[in-house]
């Protein structure tokens, strides 16, 4: 009897501890994140490495929030360049000057970036690397007569064999005008370069610009496997000047602020108020007179 009882107790103990252990194991199961790197070269200065940390949950991707990403110059992760925490979208961007970028160049003339998500309570670590070669875009803006505007862009790419920049032939370039939330395409969605690495587009005349007619024209090689993203930007006076209709809120109106009430309303309402309350003050002064008459009478 007694042994039976201890046996059952032991059995229960084992069962409970197994359960607890299982729970702990479950609680400690970390999410394996994914890391994606992309490279963007702005022709007028900065280069960016954008890192995006995400995990797959069911069918959807979820940003990994709160993780730190280290950027390294070598595969062994010995030469740290920078560590940054991601934002709420699981993204972070490192800005590089040309000199900074050169430090990532390897012997073949490629830029090679290494990055790693540092593990934390929730996430396991993850690594990614990206190799890109140098590419450049330049553009000419030709206005032939009053109405015909032609945009000619040239793509040059680094050739590892000759270690020289050569024209990037048959490559898709995006071209457009920079807008608040997007790029307004000019020409086709993608325009393939010719053997000289060039595209030529006639530019529409009716695109609204700023008040001086300036447009920011963008020519872009988008997310290319070998060269990353290369973006050329230039402000050109090719737009229709925006006739700045004066701020509608500056005029006096029913929907204006308190300081912008229509004049007739201010005048009418204040004169009614002044007239009536003035009269009421006069009445109250009459009461004062009554009181004075009363006290002088006694």
The secondary structure of the chain in percent helix, strand, coil, rounded to multiples of 5, reads 25, 40, 35
Helices marked H in 121-262: none
Q: Which of 30, 179, 188, 237 binds another protein (CB under 8 A)?
A: 179
249 lies in the site for another protein, by CB under 8 A: yes
Smaller CB separation from another protein, 17 or 253: 253
Q: Which phi and psi angles does 84 have, rounded to 5°?
A: -140, 150
Question: Shortest approach of another protein to residue 276 CB, angstroms?
Answer: 6
Question: Shortest approach of another protein to residue 180 CB, angstroms?
Answer: 4
Question: Shortest approach of another protein to residue 11 CB, angstroms?
Answer: 36
Smaller CB separation from another protein, 109 or 241: 241
Structure tokens at 189: 């969605």
Residue range at the interface with another protein (CB under 8 A); choices 14-22, 116-124, 142-150, 218-226: 116-124
Smaller CB separation from another protein, 104 or 198: 104
Smaller CB separation from another protein, 5 or 59: 59
User: Which residues lie below 8 Å from residue 91, measured CB to CB, with a gap of 6+?
Assistant: 50, 51, 52, 53, 63
User: Which residues lie below 8 Å from residue 89, measured CB to CB, with a gap of 6+?
Assistant: 52, 63
Could you give the string, one character per residue 63-102, with x where binding to another protein holds by CB under 8 A and - elsewhere? Answer: --xxx----------------xxxxx---xx-x-x-----
Residue with tokens 């963007």: 40
CB 138 within 8 A of CB 154: yes
Question: What is the separation, in whole angstroms, between the first and last Cα of the chain?
Answer: 115
190 lies in the site for another protein, by CB under 8 A: no
298 lies in the site for another protein, by CB under 8 A: yes
Distance CA 163, CA 53 (A): 34
Nearest 5°: the CA angle 217, 223, 224 is 110
Smaller CB separation from another protein, 7 or 277: 277
Could you give the string, one character per residue 25-54, with x where binding to another protein holds by CB under 8 A and - elsewhere? Answer: -----------------x-xxx--------
Pick the closest to residue 63 from 94, 85, 45 (CA basis): 85
Distance CA 225, CA 175 (A): 19
Q: Which of 18, 20, 166, 242 binds another protein (CB under 8 A)?
A: 242
Pick the closest to residue 103 from 112, 93, 114, 95 (CA basis): 112
Question: Shortest approach of another protein to residue 154 CB, angstroms?
Answer: 19
Q: Which of 13, 16, 32, 273 binds another protein (CB under 8 A)?
A: 273
The residue length of the chain stands at 298
Distance CA 98, CA 150 (A): 31
Would you tell me which residues interact with another protein (CB under 8 A)?
Answer: 42, 44-46, 65-67, 84-88, 92-93, 95, 97, 120-122, 176, 179-185, 207-208, 210, 233, 242, 247-249, 254-258, 261-262, 265-266, 269, 273, 276-277, 279-280, 283-284, 286-287, 289-291, 293-295, 297-298
């Amino acid at each position: 009897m007694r042994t039976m009882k201890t046996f059952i107790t032991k059995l229960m103990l084992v069962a409970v501890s197994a359960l607890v252990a299982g729970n702990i194991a479950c609680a400690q199961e970390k999410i394996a994140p994914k890391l994606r790197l992309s490279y963007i070269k702005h022709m007028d200065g900065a280069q960016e490495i954008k890192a995006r940390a995400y995990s797959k949950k069911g069918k959807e991707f979820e940003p990994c929030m709160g993780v730190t990403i280290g950027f390294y110059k070598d595969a062994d992760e010995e030469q740290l360049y920078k560590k940054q925490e991601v934002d709420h979208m699981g993204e972070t961007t490192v800005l590089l000057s040309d000199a900074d970028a050169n430090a990532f160049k390897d012997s073949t003339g490629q830029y090679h970036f290494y990055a790693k998500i540092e593990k934390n309570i929730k996430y396991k670590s993850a690594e990614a690397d990206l190799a890109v070669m140098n590419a450049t875009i330049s553009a000419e803006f030709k206005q032939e007569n009053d109405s015909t505007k032609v945009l000619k862009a040239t793509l040059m790419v680094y050739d590892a064999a000759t270690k020289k920049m050569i024209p990037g032939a048959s490559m898709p370039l995006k071209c457009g005008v920079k807008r608040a939330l997007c790029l307004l395409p000019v020409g086709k969605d993608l325009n393939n370069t010719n053997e000289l690495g060039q595209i030529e587009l006639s530019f529409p005349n009716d695109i609204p610009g700023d008040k001086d007619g300036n447009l920011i024209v963008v020519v872009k090689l988008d997310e290319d496997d070998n060269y990353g993203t290369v973006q050329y930007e230039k402000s050109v006076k090719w737009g229709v000047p925006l006739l700045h209709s004066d701020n509608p809120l500056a005029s006096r109106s029913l929907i204006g602020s308190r300081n912008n009430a229509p004049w007739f309303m201010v005048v009418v309402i204040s004169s009614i108020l002044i007239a009536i309350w003035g009269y009421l003050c006069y009445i109250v002064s009459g009461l004062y007179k009554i009181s004075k008459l009363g006290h002088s009478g006694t």
